[in-house]
Amino acid sequence: MASQEDVFKKLVAHCKEYGFVFPSSEIYDGLGAVYDYGQNGVELKNNIKKYWWDSMTLLHENIVGIDAAIFMHPTTWKASGHVDAFNDPLIDNRDSKKRYRADVLIEDQLAKYDEKIDKECEKAAKRFGESFDKDMFCQTNARVQEYITKRNALHERFAKAINDNDLETLKQIILDEGIVCPISGTKNWTDVRQFNLMFSTEMGSTADGAMKIYLRPETAQGIFVNYLNVQKTGRMKIPFGIAQIGKAFRNEIVARQFVFRMREFEQMEMQFFVRPGEEMKWFAHWKEFRLKWHKALGLGDHKYRYHDHDKLAHYANAATDIEFEMPFGFKEVEGIHSRTNFDLSQHAQYSGKKIEYFDPEMNQSYTPYVIETSIGVDRMFLSIMSAAYCEEKLDNGESRVVLKLPAVLAPVKVCVMPLVKKDGLPEKARQIMDSLKFEFHCAYDEKDSIGKRYRRQDAIGTPFCITIDHQTLEDDCVTIRYRDTMQQERIKISDLHDIVDKQVNMKNLFRKIME
Ligand code: ATP
């Protein structure tokens, strides 16, 4: 069986070969951790964004959207704490000259203990069969107990060091745990240093004093500085939310794993403003709602899990991640944070403007508390692609690569194929395509054998292929072929619309998540 790493490499190659993702400025050998989306990638990405946007703004009458500029007044980032505290602890290996995030090295070490515990459990489960009791085994097996103790001790020490911003202890943990550089294999580490992740540039001409400004590292601040504008002009009543999709930029130290960690990426963020004291109720609400949104796509419920944070960001009083099982393990796709009233209070202080809400029911003014849901479009894209990518052996000995994308997100919904390029079949095929194309993204393909055409559509995840043959001219029926099962069926042209619509209409997903 191919290793997960091989699968990931194949997925990256597939993304390039089929027009999903290209390295940025590739003719100049690319630019580190920056990527361009190709003709199919952009469709998938747009569908993800639509699924998110509509689930916020259509399904919730108290959530509205905005589109703030990427450039913001530089004081924004002083107020938000990013100038002083948006740092990653980095460490270099002197032998390989490679740079790592100290916190990530330690988190990987924690994951190794978890893997060891899981392995022991798996072995025991095989040995004991039906009667295996995992909890009991973990409590009584000496080896597992040793791993659990070590893991917990490391976890506690790490959490304290991170929260205290104690860089010396972070380094000591790396030394004590015997963590080696994956490239050089040595423990020849430098001290741990803080590194600010914001990109900066200059606005205005240098002659009359240019202003140093930042490329936003998150879209959220564009929402906070517009809180009053939206609340007043939209006559919004608490609780209410503001949603936004847009680019964010971070000078990531270790940028790898394809579109998982990029220096330029896109976020979909929603800030939900609530009464002080009600934030935990809303935090729980959004945690649940967001997971439902993910699961409704049908990629497999077991691929998701929550991960509660040990290190709370400087603004948060509760935080959890929704993690997805990528080819390289469970990784964060979305963060849900209770941000208190930190941001609005800071902006009030730095701007000198009163940023409050008068609550008519309480007959009182206050600075609202905020629950944030923040998801990366690119990470979502990667999670979907990795769950969808599938190599299958067929009964006839051949194999195929198929992207089992959720039909609602697939770049192309229907490919229309005349069996041959003559006898009026192309004309009939065009007619069918014209009747569908205002609603569904359609492709037309008349080149090569039908089998080859199916493979091309499988590789980009098209859920339906429609073949028009000579019989079609007589009975107005076509052959529909389903991507996942490869089953073919003869159906009436007049039924086509409803069959496709049932699978690709987002309405059905929205119903599911509102149940
Ligand atoms: P990580 O710990 O992986 O660096 P984070 O906790 O800093 O992520 P947040 O600040 O919570 O991430 O950002 C919200 C979301 O934005 C993340 O869940 C992720 O989906 C996305 N995101 C953050 N950084 C990147 C990046 N460099 N490339 C792609 N997506 C990103």
**Ligand 1 atom 21 nearest Cα:** 376
Query: Looking at the structure, do residues 360 and 401 belong to the same domain, yes or no?
Result: no
pLDDT band at 379 (very low <50, low <70, confident <90, very high): very high
107 lines ligand 1 (CB under 6 A): no
Query: Looking at the structure, do residues 235 and 358 belong to the same domain, yes or no?
Result: yes
Phi, psi for residue 49 in degrees, rounded to 5 = -65, -40
**Ligand 1 atom 25 nearest Cα:** 261
Q: Tens of pLDDT along 62-85?
A: 999 999 999 999 999 999 999 998
**Ligand 1 atom 8 nearest Cα:** 332
pLDDT band at 4 (very low <50, low <70, confident <90, very high): confident
pLDDT at 136: 87
For residue 265, being part of any structural domain is answered with yes
Q: Tens of pLDDT along 234-268?
A: 999 999 999 999 999 999 987 678 999 999 999 99
**Overall average pLDDT of the 437-451 stretch:** 97
For residue 374, being part of any structural domain is answered with yes
pLDDT at 7: 87
460 has a pLDDT exceeding 90: yes
378 lines ligand 1 (CB under 6 A): yes
Largest CA distance in the chain: 80
Query: Looking at the structure, do residues 376 and 328 belong to the same domain, yes or no?
Result: yes
For residue 20, being part of any structural domain is answered with no
Query: Ligand 1 mean position to 153 CA, how many Å?
Result: 27
Inter-CA distances, 439 with 76, 401, 497, 503, Å? 42, 27, 9, 13
Q: What CATH number should be reported for the domain holding residue 185? A: 3.30.40.230
What's the domain range around 105?
A: 87-196
pLDDT at 6: 86
Q: Tens of pLDDT along 145-184?
A: 999 999 999 999 998 998 888 999 999 999 999 999 999 9
262 lines ligand 1 (CB under 6 A): yes
pLDDT at 169: 96
Query: Looking at the structure, do residues 56 and 128 belong to the same domain, yes or no?
Result: no
Which numbered atom of ligand 1 lies nearest the CA of 269?
14
418 lines ligand 1 (CB under 6 A): no
For residue 235, being part of any structural domain is answered with yes
Query: Looking at the structure, do residues 174 and 278 belong to the same domain, yes or no?
Result: no
335 lines ligand 1 (CB under 6 A): yes
pLDDT band at 502 (very low <50, low <70, confident <90, very high): very high
Query: Ligand 1 mean position to 325 CA, how many Å?
Result: 16
For residue 4, being part of any structural domain is answered with no
386 has a pLDDT exceeding 80: yes
Percent of the chain with pLDDT over 90: 87
pLDDT at 74: 95
**Ligand 1 atom 16 nearest Cα:** 376
- Average predicted confidence (pLDDT) for the chain: 94
Query: Ligand 1 mean position to 445 CA, how many Å?
Result: 39
231 has a pLDDT exceeding 90: yes
**Ligand 1 atom 4 nearest Cα:** 261
For residue 3, being part of any structural domain is answered with no
Query: Looking at the structure, do residues 47 and 127 belong to the same domain, yes or no?
Result: no
Q: What CATH number should be reported for the domain holding residue 355? A: 3.30.930.10
Reported for 174-183, long-range contacts at CB under 8 A and 24+ positions apart, including other chains, are: 174/91, 174/102, 174/105, 174/106, 177/106, 177/109, 179/105, 179/106, 179/108, 179/109, 181/93, 181/95, 181/96, 181/98, 181/100, 183/93, 183/96, 183/98
Amino acid in the structure at residue 269? E
Distance, CA of 174 to CA of 390 (rounded, Å): 38
For residue 92, being part of any structural domain is answered with yes
**Ligand 1 atom 23 nearest Cα:** 376
pLDDT band at 96 (very low <50, low <70, confident <90, very high): very high
For residue 446, being part of any structural domain is answered with yes
Residue positions counted in the chain: 515
379 lines ligand 1 (CB under 6 A): yes
Q: Tens of pLDDT along 273-325?
A: 999 999 999 999 999 999 999 999 999 999 999 999 876 676 788 999 999 99
pLDDT at 311: 65
Total structural domains within the chain: 3
pLDDT at 2: 61
Q: Tens of pLDDT along 474-495?
A: 999 999 999 999 999 999 999 9
Query: Looking at the structure, do residues 327 and 230 belong to the same domain, yes or no?
Result: yes
375 lines ligand 1 (CB under 6 A): yes
Q: What CATH number should be reported for the domain holding residue 443? A: 3.40.50.800
User: pTM for this one?
Assistant: 0.89
Is 38 or 316 the better-scoring residue by pLDDT?
A: 38
Query: Looking at the structure, do residues 494 and 355 belong to the same domain, yes or no?
Result: no
Query: Looking at the structure, do residues 334 and 415 belong to the same domain, yes or no?
Result: no
Domain end marker among 359, 388, 417: 388
Query: Looking at the structure, do residues 126 and 230 belong to the same domain, yes or no?
Result: no
Query: Ligand 1 mean position to 374 CA, how many Å?
Result: 8
Query: Looking at the structure, do residues 223 and 371 belong to the same domain, yes or no?
Result: yes
pLDDT at 396: 87
Angle, nearest 10°, between helix axes 279-295 and 506-514?
140
CB contact at 8 A, 244 and 219: yes
Domain end marker among 388, 414, 438: 388
Which numbered atom of ligand 1 lies nearest the CA of 334?
18
pLDDT at 207: 63
pLDDT at 164: 87
Domain end marker among 353, 388, 423: 388
**Ligand 1 atom 12 nearest Cα:** 335
pLDDT at 204: 84
Query: Looking at the structure, do residues 324 and 452 belong to the same domain, yes or no?
Result: no
